Amino acid sequence: ERLELRHGSHREGKRNDAEMQRWRDYGLGQFIHWGVYAIPGGAWDGISYNGAAEWIRSWSEKSGAPKDWRATYDKLYKQFNPQHFDAKIWAKQAKKMGARYMIFTTKHHDGFCLWPSKYTKYTIVNSPYKKDIVKEVVEAYAAEGIDVYLYFSIIFWNHPGYRSTVPKAPHDSLAYESFKEFTRNQLVELLQNYPQTKGLWFDGSWDAAWVNQAAWTDKLETELRQLKPGLIIGSRFRADEYGKRHFDSNGIMMGDYEQGWERKLPTTIDDTHGNDWDCVMTIPPNQWGYNADWKSSYIKTPYDLIAMLMQANSLNGNFVINFGPDGQGAIRPEESAIAAKVGEWMQINSEAVYGVTHANFPKPDYGVLTKKDTTLYVTVFNRPINNIVRLAIPKSSKEIPGKAYLLVNNVPLDLSAVNMGLDRDNNMYYDVALPVGFSAAEMPFVIVVQLEQSKESGSRYR
């Protein structure tokens, strides 16, 4: 039974325009979380906040916050004067890492605007820094050929009109109406100020007050899309009239791609329901903004991140690595080192990342598969102890492996069909032999397999 929805999804199936195809092909992105929370960096007066650094304003006295902490936080912008900030340095580093797009926090839940918004005083203009940071970031990344997406939280903790729960009293409703208008004005302002923007990455839209605004948010989305044809918006913007988010009451995705993969990844293609999606990932377990303390938690290694990157790409997703510059605008050396390592790997292996799709072959235990046209990329994480990388190809497949080589130095590899007679899974097997003495410098490596049309599908090696 299908519901008649006025504010559900307005599209069935995927977008297939050029802008969306470009998004699909990115493979790797960079997220940057930056704001006044970078000044305390997860602690104040030597006391650590037990949460994500960008959430430190919500620290309560009960859990150890200094007295009048929120008032202190709300004055931090008067100290925001990042002397090391140079968007060109960030953009160059992102380029070297291999990022094809970046997402920048124009305004997080605390409401501080990194652009000179006309609609609030709580902006960069009233900090000692004064200059338009969003503009510098947009221009620097665009100059490197990296597409820019603007992160925007609809939460604004200390705005007088902001409400998280559905307003009941008339004065709350009035206040919230003004806040809605304010939010709309800011979004229009961002798209007008920064015409290079390719899309908006929304956050905070779980608030009951916002969820309750199906008609208004639907209208706003239409307005934003009209203002900027081709604009890309994920599924975390609005709810339908029954309060359903991401997927409407008929189970159809709202928005251009699924935005539910935050700090987690699907494990199988079924988990993705065939949708476009991105995964945004922190390097520590859960820190987006700068946290000075990187000793108290596990820090993902470049290897971890590359494994996640390839898992995402093998399942038709983009993988986005988050960076949290410090209060002076510098990317910490540990993050720069990680970016450099990922970039070194991308330098050799990016062919297995950009423009690829899920490969519809059985997933091997030793790694993942990506595919582009008739090229199969086999990324190996768990190198088989016998140095034989076995490919399983369904007997029904119209494509079969022709030749294979290593992406590093294009070293040709022996590829042989294995005659296994009848197999329970109806697969054919092909063995790729790694060269004697091959060393992958302890990083995952990629085998390229050129696929050929099977003359008589499945019959050759039966």
List residues near ligand H79 by CB under 6 A.
Answer: 33, 52, 54, 203, 206, 262, 280, 288
Nearer to ligand H79, 326 or 431 (CB): 326
Nearer to ligand H79, 254 or 280 (CB): 280
Give the nearest distance from C-beta 38 to ligand H79 in angstroms: 13
Nearer to ligand H79, 172 or 207 (CB): 207
Side chain identity at residue 338, one-letter code: I
At residue 460, the 3 state secondary structure works out as coil
Nearer to ligand H79, 54 or 218 (CB): 54
Give the nearest distance from C-beta 306 to ligand H79 in angstroms: 21
Contacts of 238 (CB under 8 A, 6+ apart): 7, 205, 210, 213, 214, 217, 218, 220, 221, 245, 254
Nearer to ligand H79, 203 or 258 (CB): 203
Q: Give dist(CA 38, CA 290) in Å, integer.
A: 5
| Contact (CB, 8 A) for 319 and 31 | no
Nearer to ligand H79, 261 or 361 (CB): 261
DSSP 207-227: -HHHHT-HHHHHHHHHHHHHH
| Structure tokens, 259 | 């935005």
- Give the residue nearest to ligand H79 (CB): 206
Give the nearest distance from C-beta 290 to ligand H79 in angstroms: 12
Give the nearest distance from C-beta 247 to ligand H79 in angstroms: 15
| Contact (CB, 8 A) for 342 and 305 | yes
Q: Which residue stretches of 160-213 are H helix?
A: 170-193, 208-211
Give the nearest distance from C-beta 325 to ligand H79 in angstroms: 14
Q: Give dist(CA 150, CA 440) in Å, integer.
A: 37
Give the nearest distance from C-beta 262 to ligand H79 in angstroms: 6
Return the axis-axis angle of helices 214-227 and 170-193, rounded to nearest 10°. Answer: 20
Give the nearest distance from C-beta 288 to ligand H79 in angstroms: 4
What's the CA angle centered on 95, arms 337 and 312, to 5 degrees?
A: 80
Nearer to ligand H79, 199 or 367 (CB): 199
The bridge status of strand 47-48 relative to strand 101-107 is unpaired
